[in-house]
Amino acid sequence: MGKFIITKRKNEEYQFNLEASNGQVILTSEGYANKAGCKNGIQSVKNNAPTDSRYERKVSKNDLYYFNLKAGNGEIIGKSQMYASSGGRYNGIESVKNNAPEALIIDETI
């Protein structure tokens, strides 16, 4: 089972990573000013992850593949790691779809 890990950045913003069951980070959030906003972001990922149209598939300037997960309002709620192939990106999206809805939330800022 996947898990969301809430941490604090050096600039004091909160963020979360979604980890697959193997511990690999598959999605990283933006920074949030407070923990409540971060938790709302996690809920948004849980809600939007199953919907394929919420994934924006991209290619970086150095030809690596990645994706953004967007909320219904078009705002980016998470970004993936970089992948060497479109197949890797596809697997990453499928992993988010499978892991996010039931993922545990672990708060490492307590």
d(CA 92, CA 18): 11
Mean of pLDDT over the chain: 97
Task: Tell me which DSSP letter residue 12 carries.
Answer: S
* Domains assigned to the chain: 3-107 (2.30.29.80)
List of residues 6+ apart from 59 with CB closer than 8 A: 65, 66
Q: Tell me: the pLDDT tens digits for 23-55?
A: 999 999 999 999 999 999 999 999 999 999 999
Q: What is the pTM for the complete model shown? A: 0.95
Is a pLDDT exceeding 90 seen at residue 90?
yes
